[in-house]
Amino acid sequence: MKDLKYWTHLCLEVFCTINYDYNGKKDEHHFQLVNKNGSFLKKNGHLRTKKVPNERYDPNAKRPCKPTFCKKKLCYECLANNCEYLAYTEARKSKKKHNKKKSGGKYNLKK
């Protein structure tokens, strides 16, 4: 085996999908945002929604059992044990850079 002269970091965005399928099947209805005259808000400030039937609804859907090593949060054990519920993608570099200065409680972003 060759000696490695160079190495690099690989940044991943990691997600736990243990309840992803279950959450899509557990409710009979979903709420869809309704755009009326270019706005999703009612005059009172509440969201304008419409109740729609869930085509994936399954009354027999059960929450999956978590693996024995599961700590209910993303951690190294998920990667080390090749957890079947672990989903990840390569992180994209942000086009905006953070300049680390706060202004009025909000961060200023450089383009």
Strands 97-103 and 86-90: unpaired
Closest CA to 68 of 81, 59, 49, 86: 81
pTM for the model: 0.54
User: b/e map of 12-26 (b: 16 or more CB within 10 Å)?
Assistant: eeeebebeeeeeeeb
Tens digits of per-residue pLDDT, 24-79?
A: 899 999 999 888 888 888 888 888 899 999 999 999 999 999 999 999 888 889 88
Per DSSP, helices labelled H in the chain are 20-25, 76-80
pLDDT band per the 50, 70, 90 thresholds, residue 102: very low
* 19 touches 63 (CB < 8 A): yes
